[in-house]
Amino acid sequence: MAATPRYDLYYWPTIQGRGEFVRLVFEDAGVAYRDMARLPETEGGGRGAILRMLAGAPRGTPPFAPPVLNVGDLWLAQTALICRHIAAPCGLLPANETARLHAEQLMITIMDMVVEAHDVHHPLAKSMYYEEQQAEARRRAAVFHAERLPKLMDYFERALAANDSGGPWLVGESASYADLALFQLIAGLGHAFPRALAAQAGTAPRVMALHGAVAERPGVRAYLASPRRLPFNEHGIFRHYPELDLPPAT
């Protein structure tokens, strides 16, 4: 009997962030993983778990930043790559080669959008406080709502429409890790910019249906209702600063 591999995820313990895309894959599948920095400090958890991992020089190519996955001798970074790597054992890898490539293309595009959404509140520097770049953030937010958010919603709506297999998913007939990632992107945008997302939802019914379909998958639904799902907060990627959302309808 083959031993089940032990999956250890290293990601900041107090935010969803990029680690959430990895957590969702494991949780959807019900595959066991250790969220290392969320273990008790007495068991080696906490932020120290990440700092020790980064300082401890995993063998081979080092990671630039969390999330980092350790499985056996492999240490792997980059969210899109980690999600793809665990997709097969989690039953979330498309069956045919073209669909696998397109799931990757979509996943990388989603992660590009995550950067764009983050940089709305931090257009100048990650290392500066929001309050130091608030005026710039307001200018960036206006363009994001007028141009980038409609463009991204239109893109994923077209991608979903181009899948003629009849289901709610991005590629093929089954859910893939890219679908979970699009769910998380939409969830995050809905937290950060509820009015702006609501203004777009009507033009992207397939995107909103996919968001709902992922939320109803048994593994995801159980996860979202559990304490393992950290709430969104104003330390992560998707932050709700009302002044960066669309103004209220009058």
Q: Considering only residues 134 through 153, tell me which ones interact with its own copies, judged by CB under 8 A.
A: 136, 139-140, 143-144, 147
CB 90 within 8 A of CB 31: yes
Between CA 161 and CA 182 the distance in angstroms is 15
47 counts as binding its own copies under rule CB under 8 A: no
Among 88, 115, 198, 209, binds its own copies (CB under 8 A): 115
For residues 246 and 5, give the distance between their C-alpha atoms in angstroms, rounded to a whole number.
46
- Hey, how many other C-beta atoms are within 10 angstroms of the C-beta on 8? 17
Residues 50-69 that bind its own copies (CB under 8 A): 57, 60-64
CA 232 to chain centre: 12
Binding-residue total with its own copies (CB under 8 A): 44
Both tokens of residue 211?
């968001």
Determine if 228 is a binding residue for its own copies (CB under 8 A).
no
Q: In a 10 Å sphere around its CB, with 0-12 CB exposed, 13-18 middle and 19+ buried, how is residue 98 labelled?
A: exposed
C-beta closer to its own copies: residue 72 or 227 = 72
| Binding characters for its own copies, 67-86, by CB under 8 A (x = yes) | ------xx-xxx-xx---x-
Q: Is 85 helix (H, G, I), strand (E, B) or coil?
A: helix
Chain positions contacting its own copies, by CB under 8 A: 57, 60-64, 73-74, 76-78, 80-81, 85, 98, 101-102, 104-106, 108-109, 112, 115, 119, 123-125, 127-128, 133, 136, 139-140, 143-144, 147, 155, 158-159, 162-163, 170-171
